[in-house]
């Protein structure tokens, strides 16, 4: 069904219960802005005066206790196209609480896997006509200015974003994001000051092995899909007595100087390259009950070369659209400024 057909259908359909959103500003919410989505598959919600259907996950209803505020989540200083609509689940235990108190004490609804907040990204609002009512409400309420709106539309029209709804989007290069380890193909989309980069394959065959000193006995290989088992077989052929971690991990891009000529493939000692750092293992215990061990400050993701970390030289990262002048400046300020150690910016330990 075309986007216009969906929109016309939504105009005719009225919600079966009161689910109307007139405000998406988290700073000026009222109790009347609370909507109840729990247990409903593709609920109808009126944004302003027009209804549309929103979904939690294909063929799945919103989870229990999904009552709260739909709101615009954005961070200052990010380029046009960044931000998302989220759902803040609130606790109705105290009827005397104000909307502001309920919002502050609530938590964002997580997506089906429980790894990140459920969201409708701003790029989806600009590329999918079904979301026109949300976009119009943001404009009419001043949450998006006319100049910002035109700038975002120009940036979106310059690239193909047909599959952006199923992509991992980085609003800024320093954002953390979740990946499944090991992973055959890492696909990401980027929002830079200069441009928007559509989702594309940015790395292949990534994994992380627990350190040898933490492991006793032979390799532990865990079940997974066909692609995962193929990758584990490739890794096992290296004949290293290590644990290949299977599970979700929080990672981020960083810059790092090669400490030796053999640290990164093709990089000489002292050369700065792009790396991926694991900050947290969301599945810290293997299926056999043995916990993985992540060093304080995290570990670098490994690639296909035995004993070497995954890396990308900066000239290639520019060609791939991972970095631009503005995003490179962000990473340089975080990891290369002055004499500060790169390791000092790694955050917290990998266990939760």
Q: Regarding predicted confidence, which is higher, 316 or 307?
A: 316
pLDDT of amino acid 219: 38
Buried b / exposed e over 302-328, threshold 16 CB at 10 Å, is: bbeeeeebbbbbbeebbebbbbbeebb
The mean pLDDT value for 223-240 works out to 43
Residue 73 predicted with pLDDT over 90: yes
Strand partners, 196: 191
Per-residue model confidence (pLDDT) at position 347:
34
- Over the stretch 85-128, which tens digit does the pLDDT of each residue have? 999 999 876 566 899 999 999 999 999 988 899 999 999 999 99
Is pLDDT at 268 greater than 80 in this prediction? Answer: yes
**CA–CA distance, 298 with 280 (Å, rounded to integer):** 7
CA nearest neighbour of 123 among 188, 48, 37, 51: 188
pLDDT at 167: 81
Residue 319's pLDDT band (cuts 50, 70, 90): very high
pLDDT at 132: 95
DSSP annotation of 95 reads T
Query: Model confidence over 173-186: pLDDT tens digits?
Result: 999 999 999 999 99
Query: pTM of the full predicted structure?
Result: 0.81
Selection from 157-171, 226-240, 323-337 with the highest mean pLDDT: 323-337
Q: Report whether the peptide linkage leading into residue 182 is cis, meaning its omega lies within 30 degrees of zero.
A: yes
Helices and strands (H and E) in the chain: how many: 8, 18
pLDDT digits (tens, 9 = 90+) for 249-264: 999 999 999 999 888 9
Angle at 55 between CA 134 and CA 24, to 5 degrees: 30
d(CA 42, CA 36): 12
Pairwise CA distance, residues 73 & 85, whole Å: 6
What number is the average pLDDT over the span 315-340?
90
Q: Which residue has the tokens 């631009």?
A: 324
């Amino acid at each position: 069904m075309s986007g216009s057909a969906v929109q016309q259908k939504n105009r005719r359909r009225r919600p079966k219960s009161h689910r109307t959103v007139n405000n998406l500003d988290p700073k000026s919410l009222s109790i009347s802005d609370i909507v109840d989505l729990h247990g409903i598959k593709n609920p109808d919600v009126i944004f302003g005066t027009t209804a549309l259907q929103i979904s939690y996950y294909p063929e799945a209803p919103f989870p229990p206790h999904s009552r709260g505020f739909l709101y615009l989540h954005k961070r200052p200083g990010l380029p046009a196209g960044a931000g998302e609509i989220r759902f803040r689940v609130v606790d109705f235990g105290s009827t005397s609480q104000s909307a502001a108190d309920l919002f502050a004490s609530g938590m964002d609804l997580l997506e089906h896997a429980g790894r990140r907040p459920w969201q409708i990204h701003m790029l989806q609002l600009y590329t999918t006509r079904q979301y026109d009512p949300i976009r119009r409400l943001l404009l009419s309420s001043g949450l998006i200015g006319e100049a910002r709106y035109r700038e975002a539309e120009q940036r979106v029209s310059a690239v193909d974003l047909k599959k952006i709804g199923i992509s991992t989007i980085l609003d800024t290069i320093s954002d953390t994001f979740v990946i499944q380890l090991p992973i055959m193909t890492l696909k990401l989309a980027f929002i830079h000051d200069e441009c928007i980069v559509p989702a594309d394959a940015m790395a292949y065959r990534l994994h992380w092995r627990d350190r040898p000193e933490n492991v006793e006995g032979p390799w532990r290989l865990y079940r997974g899909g066909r692609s995962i088992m193929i990758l584990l077989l490739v890794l096992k052929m290296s004949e290293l007595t290590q644990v290949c971690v299977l599970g979700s991990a929080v990672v981020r891009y960083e810059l790092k100087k090669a400490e030796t000529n053999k640290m990164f493939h093709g990089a000489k000692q002292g050369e700065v390259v792009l790396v991926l750092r694991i900050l947290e293992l969301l599945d810290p215990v293997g299926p056999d009950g043995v916990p993985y061990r992540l060093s304080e400050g995290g570990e670098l993701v490994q690639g296909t070369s035995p004993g070497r970390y995954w890396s990308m030289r900066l000239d290639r990262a520019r060609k791939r659209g991972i970095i631009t002048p503005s995003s490179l400046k962000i990473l340089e300020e975080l990891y290369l400024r002055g004499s500060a150690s790169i390791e000092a910016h790694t955050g917290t330990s990998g266990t939760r």
